[in-house]
Amino acid sequence: MLWLKYHLQKPEKGFDPVPKAFAEQYAANEYKKIDNKIIDIIKSHLGSFENKTLLDLGAGPGQYSIEFAKRGAKVTWHDISQNYLTIAKAKAQDENITINFSLGYLEEAHGKFDIIFNRICWYYCINDYRFAKCIYNLIKKNGYGFIVVNNEKYLQQELAKESGFRKLAIKMSFWLNENFNIKLTHVHPSHKKLSKIFASLNFRHLHLEQCGHNTLITFNK
Q: The domain containing residue 165 runs over which residues?
A: 2-220
**Residues lower than pLDDT 50 in the chain:** none
| Per-residue pLDDT, 13 | 87
Backbone angles phi, psi at 211, to 5 degrees: -115, 85
| Per-residue pLDDT, 43 | 93
Full-prediction pTM beyond 0.85?
A: yes
Which residues have a Cβ under 8 Å from the Cβ of 149 and sit 6 or more positions away? 120, 122, 123, 188, 189, 194, 214, 215, 217
Distance CA 54, CA 63 (A): 14
Distance CA 138, CA 131 (A): 11
| Per-residue pLDDT, 32 | 95
**DSSP reduced 3-state for 165:** helix
Among 118, 168, 148, smallest CA distance to 209 is for 148
Distance CA 168, CA 114 (A): 41
Domain count, the chain: 1
| Per-residue pLDDT, 1 | 67
- What CATH number corresponds to the domain at position 82? 3.40.50.150
| Per-residue pLDDT, 5 | 77
**DSSP reduced 3-state for 57:** strand
Among 120, 148, 149, 145, smallest CA distance to 134 is for 145
